[in-house]
Structure 1
Amino acid sequence: MIAIKRVYEARTADEGHGILVDRLWPRGVRKDRVDVWLKDVAPSDDLRNWFRHEAPKFDEFAHRYTEELAGNDAVDRLRDLIAAHSGATLLYGARDTEHNQAVVLRRYLEG
């Protein structure tokens, strides 16, 4: 099972391993709120800066990010972590819960 959640929200014990999938560390978040930080699985700086979490760009962002994921070795590490912990929660810092990289990443992993 792969869940997604804002890193700022309280986690529960049943959510599995907490994996931060942001390129940048979220402001004000203590290190103990995250089990693993996989910044290499996050969108590239160029893509992140282009997207800027603007909802109308989300479909194109999802397409471009999926292409980046296809050639990213960090995805294998992420899959291994999820398998080793019988599930995980992908943590992200964005305010928009519907238009962010964790939504795309979960879809990619489950697809």
Structure 2
Amino acid sequence: MRVSFGRVYDVPVDPGSQRVLVDRLWPRGMTKERAALDEWCKNVAPSPEHREQGRHDQRGRRTG
């Protein structure tokens, strides 16, 4: 089985593939129809604390 990763805003590469969103928050400005998801796994996404940690670079500065 081949797994590829992409952004929910990207056009699906393989029309026959399964699209799964792994995020606790629904993407801003995205409709369910446009997302064309097969599943939304918000319970396995990083916790809010881990999401905040990911916003810092190695030197402790905010990246975005």
TM-score by length of 1: 0.44
Q: How does 1:10-89 map to 2 (within 5 A)?
A: 10-12=11-13, 13-14=15-16, 16-32=17-33, 33=35, 34-52=37-55, 54-56=56-58
Paired with 2:57 and 2:20, the residues of 1 have a C-alpha distance of: 24
Q: Which has the larger radius of gyration?
A: 2
Q: Larger helix proportion, structure 1 or 2?
A: 1
Number of equivalent positions? 55
Give 1:56 deviation, angstroms.
3.0
State the superposition RMSD in angstroms.
1.8
Paired with 1:26 and 1:41, the residues of 2 have a C-alpha distance of: 16
Unmatched runs of 5 consecutive residues or more in structure 1? 58-111
Paired with 2:28 and 2:52, the residues of 1 have a C-alpha distance of: 17
The higher-RCO structure (CA 8 Å, 6+ apart) is 1
Unmatched runs of 5 consecutive residues or more in structure 2? 60-64
Alignment partner, residue 62 of structure 2: none
Q: SS of 2:58's equivalent?
A: helix
Paired with 1:35 and 1:29, the residues of 2 have a C-alpha distance of: 15
TM-score by length of 2: 0.71
Give 1:2 deviation, angstroms.
0.9
Paired with 2:9 and 2:42, the residues of 1 have a C-alpha distance of: 17
Q: Larger strand proportion, structure 1 or 2?
A: 1
